[in-house]
């Protein structure tokens, strides 16, 4: 019995445990270069707050300042939505370390792409 307990303890200590990508915390300020296709492009600033897989925050850019958004981050993939004068805006993509990239649906303005990084 003692040998089995010792072996279990050794295996528990030596076997690496995978940390899911959703454990990544993106809290902070991110600057994303957005190219919405035909509508021109520019930088947008996102201030993220995260609790578990839920993300909230504000967007500041071509569509206005301090527009609130909500979304999720799971397994390195995120999706967020915000409402603006151009309609519902959706950003979805991937996060790796301090960079993110993906696609966006800019309401009535059309579809586009973005990439950027955490500032500071």
The whole-number mean pLDDT for each consecutive block of 10 residues of the chain, a chain of 120 residues, reads 45 42 82 85 95 97 93 97 91 96 88 93
Q: What is the pLDDT of residue 39?
A: 64
| Secondary structure of the chain in HEC code, one letter for each residue | CHHHHHHHHHHHHHCCCCCCHHHCCCCEEEEEEEECHHHCCEEEEEEEEEECCEEEEEEEECCEEEEEEEEEEECCEEEEEEEECCEEEEEEEEEECCEEEEEEEEHHHCEEEEEEEECC
Segments making up each domain of the chain, as ranges: 20-118
Task: Tell me the fold of 20-118.
Answer: Lipocalin (2.40.128)
Q: Structure pTM?
A: 0.78
Instruction: Give residue 102's pLDDT.
Output: 98
What's the confidence (pLDDT) of residue 20? Answer: 44
């Amino acid at each position: 019995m003692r040998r089995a307990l010792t072996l279990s303890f050794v295996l528990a200590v030596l076997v690496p445990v995978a940390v899911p990508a959703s454990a990544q915390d993106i809290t902070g300020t991110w600057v994303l270069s957005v190219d919405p296709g035909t509508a021109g492009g520019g930088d947008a600033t996102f201030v993220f707050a995260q609790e578990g897989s839920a993300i909230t925050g504000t967007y500041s850019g071509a569509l206005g300042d301090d527009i609130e958004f909500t979304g999720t981050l799971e397994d390195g993939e995120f999706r967020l939505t915000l409402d603006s004068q151009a309609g519902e805006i959706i950003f979805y993509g991937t996060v790796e370390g301090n960079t993110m990239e993906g696609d966006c649906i800019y309401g009535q303005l059309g579809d586009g792409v973005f990439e950027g990084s955490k500032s500071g």
